[in-house]
Amino acid sequence: MQLLRSTGFNIIMFGSGTLLSLYGVLIGRFTPGGALPVARLWGRICLWGLRVCCGIGIEVEGLEHLPPGGAVIAAQHQSALDILIWLAIVPRPAFVFKKELRRIPLFGSLLEPAGMIPVNRGGGGAALREMVAAASTATAAGRQLIIFPEGTRVAYGKRGEIRNGVVALTQAVRVPVLPAGTNAGLRWSRKAYDKKPGPVRVSIYPPVPKGLRRQEVVTLLEDVFYGPASHMPVAKKP
């Protein structure tokens, strides 16, 4: 039965995604910034589909820590569900994404028009500086920047590696940088078709203090994502 429910959800997710992407391409030609509301609508439709079809509800705590304007959210990343959640719960999301996603038909062409920030993960220091500059511009304009510090999806119960990008952001941007943990992978794992019913919890924490050194930032995020003095095994890189 849950397999059928998951199939129903996938029809909703991919069907609405295709239709809204076509609409987004059209509206983007005439309305600058019009792609972002389309993306946020898709996120809300998908969360509705998850609740109705799969019995997965989203519980968010710590929203009081989000400022009214620009911010950086350093979010744990366990599945595609994380993207849908942040699309739906913050007003002007801007994701840092790997540039290869631009190749996805329709969807990929909407990423940059919606204000998302591509990064070349093999570009070294130059790519990191470009990302930080674009992030500073976006947050100064009141966007909520979402970055996944592990750089990829990490299975529930595993540890990832905190990358340098989030450390650079904590030292460069003038807006709050808020860690956020989740258990999304417990309900929707990295490559699973079948979704498991139950609550998904997202916890937003107070901002990272300014002036921390690199290892202090890494330790703080590891405590949020995996628990203090965590002994979780390190996830293999995909």
Residues 129-160: tens digit of each pLDDT: 888 899 999 999 999 999 999 988 999 988 88
Domains observed in the chain:
57-226 (3.40.1130.10)
Does residue 207 have a pLDDT over 50? yes
pLDDT given for residue 114 in this prediction: 81
The proportion of the chain whose per-residue pLDDT surpasses 70, expressed as a percent, equals: 93
Does residue 42 have a pLDDT over 60? yes
pLDDT given for residue 28 in this prediction: 67
More confident residue, 192 or 206: 206
Q: Is the pTM of this model over 0.75?
A: yes
The proportion of the chain whose per-residue pLDDT surpasses 90, expressed as a percent, equals: 47
Does residue 29 have a pLDDT over 70? no
- The tens digit of pLDDT for each residue in 86-123 reads 999 999 999 998 888 877 777 777 888 888 888 877 76
- The tens digit of pLDDT for each residue in 7-16 reads 999 999 999 9
pLDDT given for residue 228 in this prediction: 66
- The tens digit of pLDDT for each residue in 72-88 reads 999 999 999 999 999 99
- The tens digit of pLDDT for each residue in 222-236 reads 999 998 644 434 444
pLDDT given for residue 123 in this prediction: 67
Q: What mean pLDDT comes out for the span 68-72?
A: 92
- H, E, C per residue of the chain: CHHHHHHHHHHHHHHHHHHHHHHHHHHHCCCCCCHHHHHHHHHHHHHHHHHHHHCEEEEEECHHHCCCCCEEEEECCCCCHHHHHHHHHCCCEEEEEEHHHHHCCCHHHHCCCCCCEEECCCCHHHHHHHHHHHHHHHHHCCCEEEECCCCCCCCCCCECCCCHHHHHHHHHCCCCEEEEEECHHHCCCCCCCCCCCEEEEEEECCCCCCCCCHHHHHHHHHHHHHCCCCCCCECCCC
pLDDT given for residue 233 in this prediction: 42
